[in-house]
Amino acid sequence: KDLTMYDSATNKFAKVRSMNLVQEIGMVSYVFSDKTGTLTQNIMELRQISIDGEVCGKPPTAAGPPTENCKKHFTGFEDVVAAKRKIGETKVSKFMEVLAVCHTVIAEKAANGEIEMEAESPDELALVQAAVDMGWSFQHRTSDELEVVVDGKKRVYGILGINAFTSARKRMSMLVKSDKGEYILLAKGADNIMMDISSSVPGYLGDQLYKFACQGLRTLVICQKTVPEKEALAWVEKYKAAQNAMTDRDKQLDELATQVEKAIEIVGITAVEDKLQDHVADTISRVKKGGVKVWVLTGDKLETARNIGFSCSVLSNDMEIIVLDTEASARTPQEQMSDALETARKAHLNKAVGLLITGSMLETVLINLGESLLELGEMCDVVIACRVSPSQKGEVVKLVRYGVKPSPVTLAIGDGANDVAMIQEAHVGVGISGKEGTQAVNAADFAISQFSFLMTLLLVHGRWNYRRLSKFILYSFHKNIVQCFQLFTYTFLCAYSGTSLYEDWVRNSFNLIVGFPVIFLGFFDRDLDRLQSLEDPEGYSVGRLGQELNMMKMTFHTGQAIVLSLIITMVTLLTYDAFAVSKMADYYTWGTVCYVCLIVSMLYRLAYMMTTWNWIVVLALVLTFLGTWFALLVCGSLTTLMGGVVSQLLASPLQWVCMLAVPLFAMVVDLCLDAIRLAVECASSKHSLGDMIGKVDEKVPGGLPACGVRPQGIKAQFFQQDLPSFQRHTTAKTVSGGLLCSGVALVILGAALLSTAGVPMAQVQYAGNALVGKNADELTVQQCAEGSQCNISFRVKDAMQGPIYVMYSVDPFYMNANHYMKSGSISEVKGQFGSKSAAETACTSALEESGERLWPCGLKAASLFNDTYELRRRTDYKRIEIKETGIAWDSDLNWLKNPKEYPHKAGTRWLYERFPSIANLEKDGVRSEHFAVWNRPAALPNTVKLWGVIEEDLAAGEELSLYVSSYFPVSDFDGRKSFILTKKGALGGRSDELGLVLSVVGALGIALGVVVLVSHVAGRTKLSKVADQQPYKNLDTQAADPGSQVAPTAVPPADAIGRTTPSSVESAVTEVHDF
């Protein structure tokens, strides 16, 4: 709960009633506001009355404290006494009789004996209480009677009928029978309505109504007439029948009210003051500075609306004010609108423009001149519509919402039932929980207790929520684009077969994992604190203009996502051969390496987007990283070939290097872009780069400093802000520091990977076209025909000490093709012989032409690599032992099993019968380590597998003879086969190409970081020299356009923002970070 939006008078907090619109309060372009109870306190005080032209009471500016005689509700008691002597007591009594009797107030006696009153509206209560002060004391009422005490004497009035006030009728009346037996119609209502139904209009009426309205007072015309008994009784009979009607009851009652409310006598005027709420003017001023247009829609008279407009700073004396009123001008609405447009076009270029339009004019405009009103309204800073009905309020909002292009976000704020139409029509509805019931609150999306809270709602929470949601959307698109582009890139490496880069369960966990930490960005992230947001209302334009979420932003983030995806792909591709030496180049393991790099890069991206850091944010990122490994363990339990992957990755230093290299690489790229952006911003701001980068440790008056300077946040009474936090902004200091740190880290990683170039290796290609780009000293090419045995001599360039890894390569061989991977039965290689029909379902070639069943079935078993190697020294032809054990994962050998029928089941062609060249295959069956290695499909077309291990040492330059039995066919797909000898370094095999890339990128990052740092120091030095000659506060003025005068916005006092002052806010002055 926001304690600065707490109203102690009503004991209510601001309330969010719709969570779907929290972002739209940061994008509002138009605010439509009611006046009574919204801008005003809805605490009515009767200031002045007019009885037969005699004005009693003092105007609001002159009204002092109540005198003893007038008690507490009206200050004009002595004037009323004087009026009795001047115009006679009868006229005064008629006026007082209407005030004391014509109402719906309920009176009850309290325990202390005093009468307590409750009314439907505060202005009605103010009139009755004022009548009590002037000697007409309302006591109580029943359904049939009403009792009033006048000068100590009781009067009882019989209630014959009540014609209730409605927004359409704008009046109420009562037909009563006095204790003298007279039938009297008492009425009060809006001046234009009462004048139409009166018998005559007194000459004083117009002038006095105008004077009262100019003082900002709400006026009612008081009327009464005596009704003949016969006419009254006939009307009462019809009234009772209409009350009991089952259909059209309201229509019949309205018609009867119109019948009796004719030729009534005007006896006076009441002028009630409804004071403005606290800080209304400041709220409207700040909201307007945020670029929001304010439209006030009220039922008051034109003069009252004008006066209130000046009081709450909606209107000002230096503003061009245009008035559209059909009653005050003989010109047609079309002519008035044409003149208004011409005036606005000339004036709005040089000064602010305001529009006052009456309900009668609005009625014509909404039908025929809607587009003209929109054009005029867009040139006006404020529009005040007066004498408008609730339905017209809704129509005005609808006109702006759907008529203005591009479509703006509209907000309507009100406190009563007559505001429901416009609240429901606007994008965002705000209800004020005031004194006119809860209809507006119930129809609204947000509920507040004071109009001044709208400033905090829009400028603070609106800005925060818009930026948070924008980041959330950009991050959501970013993460999905990175993943999808990775999958798209992998399509070119899997024969376009549609194989996913990650195992299915792993892929499905992606959004669940990376969707968790972004929640905390939505909780805590903010670029400015509350007071800074209020101090700089111009910053609200970020949301209003959609600067944080637009097509350009989406395009930029899409490009960033594609670059990040390419970085991940490049890093993992350049380490593929090194992973092969570590027995981690299979589809499941290498794909999981890519997945982990993807998760880490997404955590980096989220961290880079975050401005506010606290321990909860850090904990969320750490838990997400740990949760990734937990999810992978779960996936390993669900998919057989994923078993053991996590343990292999955790034990692989190369995997951790990749996991660090990806975010560091991306950070250098992002910081380079930020450095360019900051330089461009500075170049376009009339400040030199040195000046702007050097603005550090200075207090900048009047809103946000220019060109990317961001102030440090301070605490306020929110849970999300009470937490100790660190604000990370994109400044020269953070950019240079980030570039230097990430660049140094990349150079260190690059150096480690470059050291793998010294891993000795020898390669013999004995089938297919020669490899391009390989070191000629390490590569021997000699063709060996399929089905033959060959002796190939080659030389070992560098000395190798055991253990030496013997590997083979088949390229290209798409073990990662979708149909290849899905062919086969896991249950078979787990030891279940199964039925022939089940085998045919799992494998496309489960039977041979002879009808014999193949076991195990599938393309993996059918394409088992069956070339054999023998290695001898050329000097003495001594055979070098190649151990063909220990080449498979122990976890795979634990679940690979032969069926109990093995190898004697009749009608079955076993694996060893198909590949007799493989040693010990008959003995081991599917538990053969060669089969276990082959059963893990390679992640890329370059299939590199471990064949054996040599424990003996090989001398540098030693000549060896390789005896190859070439059985594995590659001629059909123009493939290559190679025999490889290599050592396993600390990071597996060779990754020097990646090391070179990282070293170059790191060096570039360091160089750019030094450039930014030097510029930063130079800027500080220049700023210090300037500060010695003149106050710093003049620096911005000198850099601005000549003659421009920008007055600083003072930091608002805490009590100007809410009823409760945050105890944690000790000062509104905060430290400003350097650019």
pLDDT of 868-879, one tens digit each? Answer: 999 999 888 899
Q: Which of 2, 7, 34, 924 is catalytic?
A: 34
- Cβ-in-10-Å burial (0-12, 13-18, 19+) of 492 comes to exposed
Average the pLDDT over 1003-1008 and give the result: 95
Q: Which one-letter DSSP state was computed for residue 642? A: G
3-state percent breakdown (helix, strand, coil) of the chain, nearest 5: 45, 20, 35
Residues 6+ apart with CB under 8 A from 222: 95, 98, 99, 187, 188, 266, 267, 268, 269, 270
Q: Which pTM does this prediction carry?
A: 0.79
Choose between 601 and 312: higher pLDDT.
601
Give the CA count within 13 Å in the CB-facing half-sphere of 947: 25
Ramachandran angles phi, psi of 817, nearest 5°: -65, 145
How is 797-853 classified by DSSP, letter by letter?
-S-B-SSEEEEEEEES--TTSHHHHHSS-HHHHBT----HHHHHHH-TT-B-TTSPE
Give the CA distances from residue 121 to residues 107, 167, 220, 389, 662, in Å, rounded to whole numbers and listed in that order: 14, 13, 14, 17, 67
pLDDT score of 698: 33
Nearest CA-CA partner of 102 in 199, 171, 174:
174
Helices (H), 380-508: 390-403, 420-425, 439-443, 453-455, 463-491, 504-508
What DSSP state is assigned to residue 1071? P
pLDDT band, very low/low/confident/very high, at 844 (cuts 50, 70, 90): low
Q: Are 780 and 961 in contact (CB under 8 A)?
A: no
| Residue 1021 reports pLDDT greater than 70 | no
Selected residue with higher pLDDT from 73 and 114: 114
What integer pLDDT is reported at residue 722 of this predicted model?
67
Residue 284 structure tokens: 């409207």
By mean pLDDT, which of 302-311, 562-571, 845-854 is the weakest? 845-854
Per-residue model confidence (pLDDT) at position 1068: 30
Q: Is 294 strand, coil or helix?
A: strand
Which residues are bridge partners to 28 per DSSP? 409
CA 401 to chain centre: 22
What is the C-alpha to C-alpha distance for residues 510 and 153, in angstroms, rounded to an integer? 84
Q: Could you give the CA distance from residue 432 to residue 294 in angstroms, rounded to a whole number?
A: 17
Average pLDDT over residues 839-850: 69
The pLDDT, as a whole number, for residue 715 is 40
* Single-letter residue type at 1069: V
298-302, 558-562, 617-621, 709-713: lowest mean pLDDT where?
A: 709-713
Residue type, 585: A
pLDDT tens column, 178-237: 988 999 999 999 888 899 999 899 989 989 988 888 887 888 999 999 999 999 999 999
- Cα dist. 156→140, 145, 151, 336, 425 in Å? 10, 7, 14, 53, 46
Confidence of residue 901 (pLDDT cuts 50, 70, 90): confident
Query: What pLDDT was estimated at residue 552?
Result: 92
Q: Determine the length of the chain.
A: 1075
CA angle centred on 659, ends 649 and 982, rounded to 5°: 60
Tokens read off for 551: 């097509």
Picking from 781, 836, 730, 291, the residue whose alpha carbon sits closest to that of residue 542 is: 291
pLDDT at 146: 92
pLDDT over 50 at 382, yes or no: yes
Predicted local distance difference test score (pLDDT) of residue 702: 34
Average pLDDT over the chain reads 85
Residue 845 confidence class, pLDDT cut points 50, 70, 90: low
> How far, in Å, are 146, 150, 758, 947, 999 from residue 755 at the CA level?
103, 107, 6, 26, 12
Structure tokens at 274: 């409804």
Question: Residue 123: which pLDDT band, with cuts at 50, 70 and 90?
Answer: confident
Which of 613, 643, 672 has the alpha carbon at shortest distance from 1005?
A: 672
Could you tell me if 400 and 416 are in contact, meaning their C-beta atoms sit under 8 angstroms apart?
Answer: no
Cα 27 to Cα 523: distance, rounded to the nearest angstrom:
19
Residue 360 has pLDDT above 90, yes or no: no
Q: Report the alpha-carbon distance of residue 589 to residue 974 in Å, rounded.
A: 27
> What average pLDDT score do residues 337-354 get?
89
Q: What percent of the chain has pLDDT over 90?
A: 52
Q: Are 464 and 534 in contact (CB under 8 A)?
A: no
Predicted confidence band of residue 277 (pLDDT cuts 50, 70, 90):
confident
pLDDT in tens, 927-964: 999 999 999 999 999 999 999 999 999 999 999 999 99
Confidence check: pLDDT of 719 > 80: no
pLDDT on residue 300: 81
pLDDT of residue 75: 79
Whole-number pLDDT of residue 624:
95
* pLDDT at res. 716: 42
Output the six-digit token pair for 661: 């290299």
Q: Write out the H or E segment, with its range, that includes residue 638.
A: helix 615-638
CB 618 within 8 A of CB 612: no
CA distance 597 to 565: 10
713 close to 727: Cβ distance less than 8 angstroms: yes
997 or 1048, higher pLDDT: 997
Annotated active-site residue 34? The verdict is: yes
- Asked if residue 810 has pLDDT above 70, the reply is yes
The CA distance from 669 to 441, in Å, is 49
Which residues 6+ apart lie within 8 Å of 562 measured at CB? 481, 482, 485
